[in-house]
Amino acid sequence: MSKNSLNIGLFGFGCVGQGLYHVLKNSTGFKANITKIAVKNRNKPRAVSKDLITYNKWEILDDPAIDIVVELIDDAAEAYLIVTEALRKRKHVVTANKKLLALHLEELIALQKEHGVSLLYEGAVCGSIPILRTLEEYFDNEPIKKVSGIFNGTSNYILSKMQSERIAYTSALAEAQEKGFAESDPSGDVNGDDAAYKAVIIALHAFGLVIGPQAVLNLGISNLQKDDLGYAREKGCRIKLLPLVKRLHQNSICVFVIPQLVSSDHHLFQVENEFNGVIVDGEFSGEQFLQGRGAGSYPTGAAVLSDISALSHGYGYEYKKHRQARPLSFTNAVFLNVYLRYNTILDLEKIEFDEIYEKYESADYNYVVGKIALTTLIAEKEFIFQNRLFVALINDETDPPTHELPRQKKQKTNSNPELRKKITA
Ligand code: HSE
């Protein structure tokens, strides 16, 4: 697309929509007009001219003068209707809606191809960090070993405030909401849904795999208690909510979101508050680390503006890894090293470990550290959540995938100091 003046139809004028409006107005190098803004709530005061506002989505979708549709609403189902309709009407689209994307990636790739238009969504993954274009353009030909990091600003803000300033969970969440980092319904921020959607999008751009988010285990931070924080502190670690997208042997990929204990020499230890950090481990280039604001009005608005500007130069994702004929497949057949805080011994009968390295029991605090099948955590996710148990990865080491999980699981205690040392490494 090359035009002197681009016309944008914007859906949503909340935190990110207003951020985009601000960064566009203050952009030095790039000019575009927001010609219409479609919003839902007729009673909210809007800090823009009334003439810009519409309550009818077709005023944007049917307007032939609008070149780019920017979708920044918080309702994924409605966003799906808007984005797919816009693509069918041969408009380029920018969205920051990770849920919509994660649920419909295959269809959205096909629609772009069919109608010869582009859909960009850098702002959907880790706010202002340009991770998708980095994967698409820099790592397009290099096999990736792993992408991990902090993908959710709200949960990281809560964890930071709890660990560094001893602020209570509910107060920290309220602050994150006030600052515009959280979703309208913050449950997806704290239960790991939001990070899982982002991990699914990353799995596409890093490995070419389309994975349904329902197949990805996400254990969040809402069950975190002060004993868990004490355990982490004692080991010199901080708890962070980390998605992991990792290539295993036999070209299978595992993806999950689980809190993790990170030690002080880890890239992510110092990534605090709403900041996100992404580690990309390339087969030849090794580890690279990107850090930036992962949530908030202006940083996400800046990512959206960058996509609009990229569209004006004719840019589109080529999904090169998706098109490369590498027979990769998704798997949950993997073993992890985890810490589990439990209530009674009955919990351990339900949540069976393959091996136990460390065990502690007292009147009001019990935990084990050991090796467990990811499939066991998936099967017991609801039990873990309902009974307020807490799980954290000790490290992101995964045992090679075992396509046949052991039929008889062992329960053995190991107090070997070498293994204990490995736990905090
Ligand atoms: N609620 C999200 C977060 C916003 O906290 O990371 C950015 O996707």
Catalytic residue numbers read 198
For a mutational test of ligand 1's pocket, the pick from 189, 200, 304, i.e. the residue with the most ligand atoms closer than 8 A to its C-beta, is 189
pLDDT at position 5: 75
Side chain identity at 131, as an amino acid letter? I
Residue 265: partners with Cβ closer than 8 Å, 6 or more residues away: none
Q: For residues 335 and 373, is the Cβ–Cβ distance under 8 A? A: yes
pLDDT tens digits for range 309-330: 999 999 999 999 998 867 799 9
Q: How remote is the CA of residue 176 from the centroid of ligand 1, in Å?
A: 10
Q: Taking the CB of residue 414, how many other CB atoms lie within 10 A of it?
A: 15
Q: Is the pLDDT of residue 45 over 80?
A: yes
CA–CA separation, 280 vs 1, rounded Å? 31
Higher pLDDT, 418 or 13: 13
CA distances from 408 to 115, 162, 352, 404 (A): 53, 40, 10, 12
If you count them, how many residues does the chain have?
425
Q: Is the pLDDT of residue 401 over 60?
A: no
Side chain identity at 88, as an amino acid letter? R
Q: Is the pLDDT of residue 390 over 60?
A: yes
Q: Which residues' Cβ are closer than 6 Å to ligand 1?
A: 127, 152-154, 181-183, 189, 194, 294-295
For a mutational test of ligand 1's pocket, the pick from 175, 183, 201, i.e. the residue with the most ligand atoms closer than 8 A to its C-beta, is 183
CA–CA separation, 248 vs 250, rounded Å? 6
For a mutational test of ligand 1's pocket, the pick from 122, 159, 181, 187, i.e. the residue with the most ligand atoms closer than 8 A to its C-beta, is 181
Q: How remote is the CA of residue 276 from the centroid of ligand 1, in Å?
A: 10
Q: How remote is the CA of residue 318 from the centroid of ligand 1, in Å?
A: 26
pLDDT at position 415: 40
Q: Is the pLDDT of residue 337 over 90?
A: yes
Q: How remote is the CA of residue 419 from the centroid of ligand 1, in Å?
A: 36
pTM of the model as a whole: 0.93
Average pLDDT, integer, range 365-379? 98
